[in-house]
Amino acid sequence: MILFKKITELTAFMDQQKQKGQSIGFVPTMGALHNGHISLIINPKKHDTITVSSIFVNPTQFNEAKDFEKYPVTLEKDIDLLEKNGCDVLFLPTVIEIYPDGLSNQPYYNLGYLETVLEGKYRPGHFQGVCQVVHRLLSIVQPHYLYLGQKDYQQCMVIKKLINLTELKTAVVIGNTLRESDGLAMSSRNMRLNEQERKKAVKIAETLFFIKKEIKPGYVGDLKERAQQYLLAENFKVDYVEIATADTLTIIENWDGKQPIVALVAAYLNEIRLIDNMLLN
**Catalytic residue positions, numbered:** 37
3-state secondary structure of 120: helix
Examine residue 223 and tell whether it contacts ligand PAF (CB under 6 A): no
**Residue 151, phi then psi, degrees to nearest 5:** -50, -40
In the set 152, 239, 242, 276, which binds ligand PAF (CB under 6 A)?
152
d(CA 7, CA 138): 12
* Residue of the chain from 39, 49, 53, 58 that contacts ligand PAF (CB under 6 A): 58
Least Cβ distance, residue 160 to ligand PAF (angstroms): 12
Asked if 154 touches ligand PAF (CB under 6 A), the answer is no
Angle made by CA atoms 230, 233, 237, in degrees to the nearest 5: 90
Select the span of 26-34, 63-71, 169-177, 226-234 touching ligand PAF (CB under 6 A): 26-34
Nearer Cβ to ligand PAF (147/255): 147
Among residues 30 and 231, whose Cβ is nearest to ligand PAF? 30
**61 binds ligand PAF, rule: CB under 6 A:** yes
Question: How near is the Cβ of 13 to ligand PAF at its closest, in Å?
Answer: 21
Query: Considering the rule CB under 6 A, would residue 133 count as an interface residue with ligand PAF?
Result: yes
29 lines the binding site for ligand PAF (CB under 6 A) = yes
Residues 265 and 277: beta-carbon distance below 8 Å: yes
Based on C-alpha coordinates, what's the Rg of the chain?
A: 19
**Residue 150 within binding range of ligand PAF, rule CB under 6 A:** no
Please say whether the dihedral angle defined by the alpha carbons of residues 189, 194, 195 and 198, taken in this order, is positive or negative. negative
Chosen residue from 10, 24, 26, 28 binding ligand PAF by CB under 6 A: 28
Say if residues 263 and 241 touch (Cβ distance below 8 Å): yes
Measured from the CB of residue 27, what is the shortest distance to ligand PAF in angstroms? 9
The full DSSP string for 170-217 is -EEEEEPPPB-TTSPBP-GGGGG--HHHHHHHHHHHHHHHHHHHH--S
Read off the amino acid at residue 271.
E
Residue 267 DSSP SS3: strand
Q: Which is nearer to ligand PAF, 29 or 51 (CB)?
A: 29
Candidate list 131, 134, 204, 263; residue touching ligand PAF; CB under 6 A: 134
30 contacts ligand PAF (rule: CB under 6 A): yes
- Binding of ligand PAF at residue 51 (CB under 6 A)? no
Q: Is 130 in the site for ligand PAF (CB under 6 A)?
A: yes
Residue 172 CB-density burial (10 A; 0-12 exposed, 13-18 middle, 19+ buried)? middle
Total residues at interface with ligand PAF (CB under 6 A): 10
The torsion region of residue 65 among left (phi > 0), alpha (psi -120 to 50) and beta comes to alpha
The site for ligand PAF (CB under 6 A) is made up of 28-30, 58, 61, 130, 133-134, 152, 155
